[in-house]
Amino acid sequence: MVERTPILNFVTHLVLFIGFLLAIAPFVIVVIASSHNLKDVNDVPMSLLPGSDFWLNIKTAWTTADLGPKLLNSFIVATGVAAGKVIISALTAFSIVYFRYPGRTFIFWLIFVTLMLPLEVRIVPTYAVVANVLTPYQAILDVTGISWLIEKVSGVQVSLNLGLLNSYPGLILPLVATATGTFLYRQFFLTIPDELTEAARMDGAGALRFFIDVLLPLSRTNMAALGTIMFLYAWNQYLWPLLITTDQSHAMAVTELKQLIPNVGGIPEWNIAMAGTLIVMLPPLIVVVAMQRWIVRGLIATEK
């Protein structure tokens, strides 16, 4: 159908353009501010013409906040979360869609419930568990009296301790354990025709074989979309890394930006802060641009 609606076209494009300006403006200001020297950045109003100190500011920000190792940490955590999420989502959805076993609906609802419990809501118990992963098992031993028995018999006091504070697993695992990706995969698996499953059975492929040879290749676009979204989600985490990393060696880039923000009464080095911001938001930007085509396909289209 060809419609000629020039006025409507103009209005829609105008709205789009205004939206684009609103979205891009803060980013432009960050870029311009990061190119000013200390005096220009504190002018009111700040000049919107770029200054000449861009590389200097970037260099200062990089060394002041020690961004190299921080970016590496962020990259490891974000990649870990993205990969872990994709794997766990595909596996759980596979189990829920393709197998009939007792308690399946119950497990499905358990997973569903976690949607309503984001990390921020359960952050205290999650911290307690990460501080000592074996706490629940210790509790079981204590309540059942097994630890008492062991102590009586052998004289050894049972005290299980496996802490994940200041570690990559501690940063990654709590972010992986949520249900969003499972649902994305579940919806996708439900669109795969039963005949394909049956054809694989006739060809002699077992469940795992079918999963690896057929389901995973077919869900490549889903994988890309989910992976990208989770990468951004993990990269932008603030509260959780702040809480469990006390050691600088495991600090993440986003939380470390705080170091660049001028203290009250300190030198107002906003140009440096903006340069740091620019560095930290660049990797997710690159990922989004690179994966954009896949994200759109993975989220809207089923395979043709």
Partner 1 sequence: MASITIRDVKKSYAKLQIVHGVDLDIASGEFVVILGPSGCGKSTLLRMIAGLEEISGGEIAIDGTVVNKLEPRERGCAMVFQNYALYPHMSVAQNIGYSLKVAGVPAAERQLRVQAVARTLELEHLLDRKPMALSGGQRQRVAMGRAMIREPKVFLFDEPLSNLDAKLRVQMRSEIRKLHRRLNATSVFVTHDQVEAMTLADRLVVMNGGRVEQVGTPAQIYSRPASRFVATFVGAPAMNILEGTVDLDGLSLLGGSRRLAMARAGLPVGTKVAMGIRPEAVRLVAPGTAGALDATVDLVEELGAGRVIYVDLDGASFSVMTSEAVHPEPGSAVGLKISPEDMHFFSSDTGTRLEVFKASVPEPAL
| Site for partner 1, rule CB under 8 A | 193, 195-196, 198-205, 209, 213-214, 217-218, 303-304
The smaller minimum CB distance to partner 1, of residues 211 and 235, is found at: 211
Question: From its phi and psi, is residue 207 left (phi > 0), alpha (psi between -120 and 50) or beta?
Answer: alpha
- The CA distance from 89 to 287, in Å, is 21
Q: Scan for tokens 């419990």, then name that residue.
A: 117
The smaller minimum CB distance to partner 1, of residues 94 and 231, is found at: 94
Q: Give min distance, CB of 96 to partner 1, in A.
A: 21
Q: Give min distance, CB of 297 to partner 1, in A.
A: 14
- The CA distance from 298 to 288, in Å, is 13
The smaller minimum CB distance to partner 1, of residues 43 and 195, is found at: 195
The smaller minimum CB distance to partner 1, of residues 214 and 242, is found at: 214
Q: Give min distance, CB of 303 to partner 1, in A.
A: 6
- The CA distance from 103 to 88, in Å, is 19
Q: Give min distance, CB of 95 to partner 1, in A.
A: 19
Please write down the HEC assignment for all residues of 60-92: HHHHHCCHHHHHHHHHHHHHHHHHHHHHHHHHH
Q: Give min distance, CB of 200 to partner 1, in A.
A: 8
The smaller minimum CB distance to partner 1, of residues 39 and 304, is found at: 304
Tokens read off for 35: 């190119």
- The CA distance from 27 to 285, in Å, is 11
Smallest CA-to-CA distance from 162 within 181, 189, 140, 136 is with: 136
Q: Give min distance, CB of 100 to partner 1, in A.
A: 11
Element containing residue 149 per DSSP (H, E): helix 146-154
The smaller minimum CB distance to partner 1, of residues 156 and 202, is found at: 202
Radius of gyration over every alpha carbon of the chain, rounded to an integer in angstroms: 25
The smaller minimum CB distance to partner 1, of residues 16 and 199, is found at: 199
**Per-residue buried b or exposed e for 104-116, using 16+ beta carbons within 10 Å of the residue's own CB:** eeeebeebeeeee
Q: Give min distance, CB of 230 to partner 1, in A.
A: 23
Instruction: Report whether 227 contacts 90 (CB < 8 A).
Output: no
